[in-house]
Amino acid sequence: MEFKDVNLVVGAGVSGAVIANLLAQNLNEEVLVIDKKTHIAGNCYDYRDENGIMVHKYGSHIFHTNNEKVWKYLKQFTDFNTYMHKVIGVLDGIETHIPFNFNTLYDVFPTSFAKRLEQKLLDIFEINTKVPVLEFQKQDDDDLKFLAKYVYEKIFLHYTTKQWEVKPEEVDGAVTARVPVYLSKDNRYFQDKYQGIPLEGYTKLVENMLNNDKIKVELGVDFSQYKNEKFKRIFYTGSIDEFFDYKFGQLPYRSVNFKLETHNRKFYQSSACVNYPCNYDFTRIHEYKYYLGDVSDKTVIAKEYSEAFEPGRNERYYPIPKDENTELYQKYLDEAKKLENVYFLGRLGDYKYYDMDKAILRALEVFEGIL
């Protein structure tokens, strides 16, 4: 079979689906989408179980963005509900809000002390700003130093050790910044203008993107089966080191293991996501029926365990942010630049932690770049 006029998209997740859709819809070009998984939608894959609950197989995915272009693009393929994500953390046995905010102050400390801390924070920092936890350790004030120590130990230290299996000081500052103190009473985890869950799920969203006569999808297919064929263009959303047969070594990732449980009760916990920074071996528990308001006498939860990535055993989830890993990725990127009509994108192709909207924006920009 001749492929010289066909685009190959490796990966049927959101990045691959966006590229495939744009090539077919805007350029009227033939596209072959392959994925070694046996389903579309990549790690966003969801499905309705026998209880009518929409389960996110690879952990909770909450769409949020401030980018008008990304939002308008997705709205062609799905409607969203108005779900706004809130995360609960169990600190000293108390359920409270994460990120740590003014409401958290009053949940975990005596009222008089919480008031004093609130005033001191507002004297130094602006309201409605997110201040990285390490900033408080720099202040010359005993109360704020105590707060820094409390937040550092109760939210950041143990959670980071569980998630990354490293000492916190060895983790890049970009990761530390993901656990801020929010000087606000806004309990939402994200403050983006647009937030929600696709009403028919992420799998249906991706299916709608790929629903074009010019697009052919093959699942359970590895890139090696097509590697020697000549395509018009290749868009690769797999791991860039795997594309180059690990010639410079393997890029490190953390993986996640989700242990699903079904319970004979309407709800298991008070929120869709409850974090356990200091207790248990898992980092958090997801309860899926909250996302689309599914009605059932049963509920499905997933306990999330962080673990090392091992090829062939589990999935790549989080690139490990260290200087030596960035340098290794740069070697692969330099190799990629030597190739003609081969494009790398997505979390694995770019070796970056992308939220969904950033992955979609990146795919839109890659497409604009080839026009």
- pLDDT value for 65: 98
Q: Taking each helix axis from N to C terminus, what angle separates 14-27 and 202-210, rounded to the nearest 10 degrees?
A: 30
| Average pLDDT across the chain, whole number | 94
Q: How far apart are CA 306 and CA 179, in angstroms?
A: 17
Question: What's the pLDDT at 93?
Answer: 95
Identify the sign of the CA torsion 45, 48, 50, 52.
positive
Convert the pLDDT of each residue in 139-149 to its tens digit: 889 999 899 88
Q: How confident is the model at residue 219 (pLDDT cuts 50, 70, 90)?
A: very high
**Domain-by-domain residue ranges, the chain?**
6-79+199-250+319-370, 87-182
The mean pLDDT of 237-242, rounded to a whole number, is 98
pLDDT of residue 135: 81
Architecture in CATH of 6-79+199-250+319-370: 3-Layer(aba) Sandwich (3.40)
What b-and-e string marks burial along 322-348, b requiring 16 or more CB atoms within 10 Å of the CB?
eeebbebbebbeeebeeeeeebbbbbb
Mean pLDDT calculated for residue range 90-94: 96
User: Which pLDDT does position 175 carry in this prediction?
Assistant: 57
Sign of the dihedral defined by the CA atoms of residues 57, 62, 63, 66, in that order? negative
Q: What is the pLDDT of residues 106-128, one digit of tens each?
A: 999 999 999 999 999 999 999 99
Q: What is the pLDDT of residues 291-314, one digit of tens each?
A: 999 999 999 999 999 999 999 899
Handedness of CA 341, 346, 349, 350 (dihedral sign): positive
CA separation for the pair 313, 343 (Å, rounded):
27
pLDDT at 279 exceeding the cut of 60: yes
pLDDT digits (tens, 9 = 90+) for 340-370: 999 999 999 999 999 999 999 999 999 999 9
pLDDT tier at 66, thresholds 50, 70, 90: very high
**Residue-level pLDDT at 174:** 58
72 Cβ contact partners less than 8 Å away, ≥ 6 residues apart:
none
pLDDT digits (tens, 9 = 90+) for 158-213: 888 899 887 766 656 555 555 678 999 999 999 999 999 999 999 999 999 999 99
Least confidently predicted of 20-24, 92-96, 103-107, 136-140: 136-140
Residue 36 in this model has a pLDDT that exceeds 90:
yes
pLDDT, position 166: 73
Rounded mean pLDDT of 63-86? 98
pLDDT of residue 322: 85
Q: Is the dihedral of CA 204, 210, 216, 222 positive or negative?
A: negative
| pLDDT for the residue numbered 199 | 98
The pLDDT of residue 344: 98
Question: Given this model, what pLDDT does residue 111 score?
Answer: 98
Per-residue confidence (pLDDT) for residue 168, from 0 to 100: 63
Looking at residue 171, its pLDDT comes to 59
pLDDT band at 257 (very low <50, low <70, confident <90, very high): very high
For residues 130 and 181, is the Cβ–Cβ distance under 8 A?
Answer: yes
